[in-house]
Structure 1
Amino acid sequence: MIGELTSVFAHEIRNPMQVTRGFLQLLNEPDLPKVKKEYIKISIDELDRANEIIEDFLSFGKPSINNIAKIEVGYQIERVVNIIRSYSLNQNVEIRTDIQDNCWIFANPQKLNQSLINILKNAVESMPTGGRVWVSCTATDDGFIKIIIKDQGIGMTKKQIDRLGSPFYSLKEKGTGLGMMVSFQIIHSCF
Structure 2
Amino acid sequence: MLRKRKNRPRASPITVTWFCTVLIEKIRETQQLRMDVQDSEKFRVISELTGVFAHEIRNPMQVSRGFLQLLDEPDLPYRQKEYIKLSIEELDRANEIIDDFLALGKPSNSTYGTVNVSEQLKRTASLIQTFNVNQQVEFQTDIQDDCWMRADPQKLNQSLLNFLKNAVESMPNGGTVSLSCHKTVDGHIRLTVKDQGIGMNPKQVQRLGSPYYSLKEKGTGLGMMVSYQIIHSFKGKIRVESEEGVGTEFDIEFPGAEP
Compare relative contact order (CA 8 Å, sep 6+) and give the higher one, 1 or 2: 1
**Which residue is equivalent to 1:188?**
232
User: Partners in 2 of 1:16 and 1:66 — Cα distance?
Assistant: 31
Over the aligned positions, Cα root-mean-square deviation in angstroms equals 1.3
Conserved? CA contact 1:101–1:139, under 8 Å: no
Query: Among 210, 216, 235, which residue is 1:166 paired with?
Result: 210
Query: Among 15, 20, 28, which residue is 2:59 paired with?
Result: 15
Q: CA deviation at 1:63?
A: 0.9
Letter of the 2:224 partner, please give it: M
User: Partners in 2 of 1:52 and 1:95 — Cα distance?
Assistant: 25
User: Partners in 1 of 2:126 and 2:61 — Cα distance?
Assistant: 27
Q: CA deviation at 1:19?
A: 1.2
Q: How does 1:41-52 map to 2 (within 5 A)?
A: 41-52=85-96
Query: Among 104, 119, 124, which residue is 2:148 paired with?
Result: 104
- Is 1:72 the counterpart of 2:116? The answer is yes
- Is 1:82 the counterpart of 2:126? The answer is yes
Q: CA deviation at 1:51?
A: 0.8
Classify the secondary structure of the residue corresponding to 1:121.
helix
Q: CA deviation at 1:96?
A: 3.3
- Is 1:29 the counterpart of 2:73? The answer is yes
Deviation >4 Å, runs of 4+: none
Aligned residues between the structures: 191
TM, length-normalised to structure 2? 0.71
Structure 2 residues not aligned, in runs of 5+? 1-43, 236-259
**Which residue is equivalent to 1:148?**
192
Which structure has the larger Rg over C-alpha atoms? 2
Deviations 1:11-62 (A, max 9, x none): 1111111111111111111111110111011101101111111111111011
User: Partners in 1 of 2:203 and 2:61 — Cα distance?
Assistant: 37
**Which residue is equivalent to 1:39?**
83
Conserved? CA contact 1:66–1:108, under 8 Å: yes
Conserved? CA contact 1:88–1:94, under 8 Å: no
Letter of the 1:152 partner, please give it: Q
Deviations 1:55-92 (A, max 9, x none): 11111011112311101111111222233223322433
User: Partners in 2 of 1:98 and 1:58 — Cα distance?
Assistant: 34
Letter of the 1:149 partner, please give it: V
Letter of the 1:46 partner, please give it: E
Letter of the 1:190 partner, please give it: F
Query: Among 93, 96, 100, which residue is 1:56 paired with?
Result: 100
Letter of the 2:154 partner, please give it: Q
Conserved? CA contact 1:70–1:106, under 8 Å: yes
Deviations 1:103-146 (A, max 9, x none): 11111111111111111111111111222212211111111111
TM, length-normalised to structure 1? 0.95
Letter of the 2:115 partner, please give it: I
